[in-house]
Amino acid sequence: MDAAQALQELTELSSQIEAAVVLGADGSVLASTYDDPARSAALASSTLELIGAAFELNAQPREVTRVEVELEDGALFVLREGGRTIAATTGPQPTSGLVVYDLRTCLQGIHQPESPKKERRSVRKSKEGAE
């Protein structure tokens, strides 16, 4: 399924997620639950800034795969996997493990557009040449 379908399914199944955005490897918005492009861009920008801040905190440079920020009135979850990033906002006191599971499932449900497959050639040895 594509990113928009995956987000739609995510919001239908997860009662804790209020808004979400999926970003491509280049940081572009692939899909969002927001109808307003400005809100999507704001969440995407905050997501990328948060990933950058988490990366800076590492003693050794490593890829950031998960960030969670919980505030009094809600939380922001960010997961990175397979070249994509998903960020979601929740209300107060979310069940972290469940939200992370739902986000990971959403990311894994998004299929990459298939690249053209190379034609495989069959290599067969001639029985005549083997004798």
Query: Looking at domain 3-110, which CATH architecture does it have?
Result: 2-Layer Sandwich (3.30)
105 contact partners, CB below 8 Å, separation of at least 6: 10
Best CA proximity match to 52, nearest among 64, 40, 66, 34: 64
- Residue 103: which H helix or E strand, with range? helix 96-109
Domain ranges of the chain: 3-110
| Whole-Å CA distances, 10 to 13, 52, 65 | 5, 26, 19
pTM: 0.80
pLDDT digits (tens, 9 = 90+) for 21-68: 999 999 999 999 999 999 999 999 999 999 999 988 877 777 889 999
pLDDT at residue 95 greater than cutoff 90: yes
